[in-house]
Amino acid sequence: MRIIFAGTPAFAQRALSALHQAGHDIVLVFTQPDRPAGRGMKPQASAVKQWALDHLLHISQPRSLRLDGRFASDAQQAQQLIAQANADVMVVAAYGLILPLWVLQSMPMGCLNIHASLLPRWRGAAPIHRAIEAGDTQTGICIMQMDEGLDTGAVLLQRTHPIGPDTTTHQLHDELAQLGAQCMVDVLSDFKSHTPVTQRVEGVTYAKKIEKQEAILDWSQPAQVLARRLRSFDPFPGGVTYFKNEALKIWSATAHSNELQSSLPGTVLHVSSDGIDVACAQGVLKITSLQRAGGKRLNAAQFIQGFDGLVGAVLHKTPQY
């Protein structure tokens, strides 16, 4: 099958590789423009672009696909490339650009999207993070026939996947990337046997993009909520709290019930090699992995060796001078 692939990060690269290994002809790859990254902030190719370069595939990096937008010339060039590619289908995975109607209508078999949730739950940009943050015990992959809505298209294939009590976004991302790649290969291997199923009207939720400011920990929330948030924000953006005027990055923690605890939320109750216990509105959060600004990620035992004055201190959402 002749495929145009549109994707950007590692999640998408896994699908591109699987389609290539399955014997499909990848005639064109769309990926986002190179972005500054790393300490030197030098432009870096996306995971999809790097893989496509290594396999000598034709690559296009339009800034937009809107024919009437600011980068109309990019869209016009993309339109020409799509017409010349003579593809059967476009496969989309975490591309990051909106596909206008002209793109959706340009493929004989349409545009198929790999979405990392059980639609209609968690439509939008961050379904993996939000599922963990909400305490969901399962998620999955949907292969969706794209339309003009936000993840509203009919579903061709859905497979569930468990979310463990300690699962982080980093772990779940890799698991769903593998599952999503296999699901797309399965759909394209026997496309006609997969009947599109319209999404339910009930049960719709939206997974808004993760913002950096969400990292600030609010100790007036229950410990269980904060523990889930930390798992959902690993590897980005992590959790942030302030000891006096110093920012501490919190990476992992476990929630514990303690009905006898009545300290001010944010108070450090106990410190040991097992963790740093912090009072919450409900329960106690035991921090097990954290780092200082400019430092390395350490477990609690390593961290407390060079850090004094924690017990009895109150952690805050903002610096305290």
Other CB atoms closer than 10 Å to residue 138's CB: what's the count?
10
Nearby residues of 92 by Cβ (< 8 Å), 6 or more positions away:
5, 6, 7, 99, 111, 112, 113, 114, 146
Structure tokens at 285: 């959060």
Other CB atoms closer than 10 Å to residue 251's CB: what's the count?
20
Q: Specify the DSSP element, H or E, that contains 251.
A: strand 246-256
Could you tell me which residues are beta bridge partners of residue 241?
248
Structure tokens at 251: 């990476």
pLDDT given for residue 41 in this prediction? 87
Kindly list the distances between the CA atom of residue 216 and the CA atoms of 70, 185, 266, 304, in Å, as whole numbers in the listed order.
35, 40, 12, 21
How do the residues of the chain divide into helix, strand and coil, expressed in percent and rounded to 5? 30, 30, 45
Q: What is the pLDDT of residues 23-46, one digit of tens each?
A: 999 999 999 999 998 778 899 999
Q: Which domains does the chain have, with CATH numbers?
A: 2-207 (3.40.50.170), 212-316 (3.10.25.10)
Angle at 14 between CA 188 and CA 215, to 5 degrees: 125
**What stretches in the chain show pLDDT beneath 70?**
none
Please check whether residue 14 is in contact with residue 177, taking contact to mean a CB–CB distance below 8 angstroms: yes
Please check whether residue 93 is in contact with residue 15, taking contact to mean a CB–CB distance below 8 angstroms: yes
Could you tell me which residues are beta bridge partners of residue 90?
4, 111
For 315: left if phi > 0, alpha if psi spans -120 to 50, otherwise beta; the answer is beta
pLDDT given for residue 206 in this prediction? 98
pLDDT given for residue 258 in this prediction? 81
CA–CA dist 190, 291 (Å, integer)? 49
Residue 72 identity (one-letter amino acid)? A
Structure tokens at 320: 């305290």
Q: What is the pLDDT of residues 85-134, one digit of tens each?
A: 999 999 999 999 999 999 999 999 999 999 999 999 999 999 999 999 99
Please check whether residue 46 is in contact with residue 82, taking contact to mean a CB–CB distance below 8 angstroms: no
What pTM does this model have? 0.95
CA–CA dist 301, 283 (Å, integer)? 22
User: Rounded to 5 degrees, what are φ and ψ at 176?
Assistant: -75, -30
pLDDT given for residue 262 in this prediction? 83
pLDDT given for residue 306 in this prediction? 82
